[in-house]
Amino acid sequence: MNLFKLSLLALLLLSACYVNAAGVSPYLPINSNTILENEIERLGVSAGIPDLTKPYNLATVVHYLEKVKRSHPILYRRLKHALKPYLASLTLSHAKLELSHGDNAKVRPNGRGYTTKDNATLSLRANWQAADWLGVYLGAEISEELKQPSGSMLSMGTDWAQLDIGYKDYWLSPFQGSAQLLSTNAETLPSFSLSNNLPIKFYGRAFNYEVFLAQLSKQPVLFNDVYSNNKGPLLSGFHLSFQPTPWWTLGATRIFQFGGGERDLNAKTIIKAFFDPRGADNDAAVDEESGNQIASISSRIYFDGRLPFSFNLELAGEDTSNNKAYQLGNTALTVGLYFPYFLADNISLTYEYASWQNGWYTNNVYQQGFTNEGNILGHWAMQAQHDSGTAAPGKSHFLKSHWQTSWQHLVSVSIRGAEHQSHQYDDYWDIDIDYSFPVNEHLFSVGAYFGKDNFGESFAELSISAQWN
C-alpha cells in the first residue's frame, strides 16, 4: 500500500469537485485559549452543535453562531468578536507566550507532552485562505524540551470532504477533561485526515465523519519472536456521528494501531481488521495479528430550559468480549454533565467521571502500547501506569468551573483526581487555577498548578502568559 499515491489521488479528486460546494476552513485551537474554548462549549449546548470530536472547525462554529443571534445576544457578540482573527484570509490568528516556574518533571494532562519543568512555552497559529478550496495553516508549540508543528497543515477540498495533511490535533471524545481513545496528551501526530467541516444533511439529519492515518514514534514491535524498532507503527481511525433528533447526537469511533518494526503493510490486513477485529487480533497467532484496536460508542444529549445542560456518555473497549466482534471488552465508561449557565449567566460548570478495567493501552505486539514519544495517546490518568509497566483498573474525576465577570475577566478552576486499584499507586489529585483579563485586544493570565502524583510526589507550578489574538 503506497500511502503517498493514495494521498495524491485524494488531492486530485477533491480539487476537481470543489466548484460545486463551499470550501475548506481552519480549525480552532484546543487546550490553548481558555476564554474562546469556554464560549464555544456554551455555543455547543445553546445551538445544538452535532460534533462529538474536536478541534472544532471554524465553518461549523460560524454556521451555528447565527442560530443564537437572538436567543443569546451576549454570547453572539462575544464570539463574533473573538473569531475575527480567524476569519481573515491572511492572519496571525493566535499567539501565546507562557512563562512558568515549577518543580518535578510532571507531564501535564492533555498538554501535548509538556511538563512542569518547561519554563517557557510559545503557541502560534497563522492562517492563509489561498482559495475557497485551498487553505495553508501554520502552527507551532515550542518549549525548551519540545518543538512541534501542531496545527500546521495543508487543507484542500470542500465543506463535505476536507483533506488535511500535516500536524492536526485530535480529540475523539465529547468530553472536556479526557478522551479515552485519542487526546492531546501526547505530542501531535503527522497525519492525513478526511472529514466534513459542515454537518452533512441527509433526510433532515446531520451527519459527521472523519477518517485519518497518522504516524507514531518508533517503539519495539514483536515479529518472529524478535522485537524491532526499525520503523514506527501507524495509526488509523474512523469516526461517524449523526443526530436522530436536534437535541441528541450518537457516534461511533474505531482506532487501529498497526505495522511498525519488521511487520509488513498491506490493504488486506487493514480490511480484515476493520470487519473482523476478533479474528484479526484475538484469535490470530502473534505474527498474524493485524495490530491493536480500541473502539467507542458515544452520545450527547442537550437539555433546554431554565437550567440548560448537556449529558455526555461514552462506552469504550480495549478489546472484544465473549468471542463476539460486536461486543466490547476491557471496557471504559465515561459520563459527564456540562452546564453552560450554572445558576447565573456568567458561570459554567463541568463534571466528568470515568472508570476503566485492566488492559488499557498495553499490547503483546507493541512493547510501549498505545503511545507516542512515551506518552499515552488517550486518557491522561493512565500515564503513571504506562510509566511503571502496569494496566490496572481505576477511575478518575474532573471538575471545572468558569466565572466570567461583567468586565470580561475570567476565573477558571479545574480539579482532577484519579484512583488505581493497585497497591503500588497513591491517589492522584491536582488543582489548576487561572485568572485571565483582557487589555485592549490582548489577553493576560496568571495561574497556579499544583497537586500530588500517583507515586506520592508533590508538584507545583506558577505561570504568567500573554496572548495576542
* Percent over 70 (pLDDT), the chain: 89
Please report the pLDDT score of residue 16 as a whole number.
Answer: 41
* pLDDT for 273: 64
Measured distance CA(334)–CA(352) in Å, rounded = 7
Bridge partners of 163, per DSSP, are 156, 194
Confidence band for 281, pLDDT divided at 50, 70 and 90: low
Confidence (pLDDT) at 12: 46
- The average pLDDT across 37-58 equals 95
Confidence of residue 274 (pLDDT cuts 50, 70, 90): low
pLDDT tens-digit readout, 302-318: 998 889 999 999 999 98
Q: What is the pLDDT of residue 279?
A: 52
Describe the crossing of helices 58-65 and 73-82 by its angle, rounded to 10 degrees.
150
**pLDDT above 90 for 232:** yes
Q: Which grid cell sits at 44? A: 455547543
Residue pLDDT, tens place only, 174-208: 999 999 999 999 999 999 999 999 999 988 899 99
pLDDT of 323 reads: 54
Q: pTM for this structure? A: 0.91
Q: Tell me the pLDDT tens digit for each residue of 400-425.
A: 999 988 777 899 999 999 999 988 99
* H or E element, residue 155: strand 153-157
User: CB count, 10 Å around CB of 198?
Assistant: 20
Q: What is the dihedral of CA 87, 89, 90, 93, to 10 degrees?
A: 10
4 confidence band (pLDDT: 50, 70, 90): very low
Higher pLDDT, 34 or 45: 45
Tracing cell 462506552 back to the chain, one arrives at: 315
**92-132 tens-digit pLDDT:** 999 999 999 987 778 899 999 988 888 899 999 999 999 99
More confident residue, 68 or 364: 68
Instruction: Answer for the pair 122, 140: CB distance below 8 angstroms, yes or no.
Output: yes
Please confirm whether the linkage preceding 50 is cis (ω < 30° from 0).
Answer: no
pLDDT band at 20 (very low <50, low <70, confident <90, very high): very low
pLDDT at 164 over 90: yes
Q: Write down the pLDDT at residue 48.
A: 94
> pLDDT tens for residues 358-382?
989 998 899 999 999 999 999 999 9
Cell of 13: 479528486
CB contact at 8 A, 377 and 361: yes
Q: For 126-163, what is each residue's pLDDT tens digit?
A: 999 999 999 999 999 999 889 999 999 999 999 999 99
**pLDDT higher than 60, residue 462:** yes
Alpha carbon 79 to its chain's center: 22
- Letter for the amino acid at 321? S
Q: Over the range 161-185, which residues count as b (16 or more CB within 10 Å of their CB) and which as e?
A: bbbbbbbbbbbbbbbbbbbbbbbbb
Lowest mean pLDDT among 314-328, 374-388, 392-406: 314-328
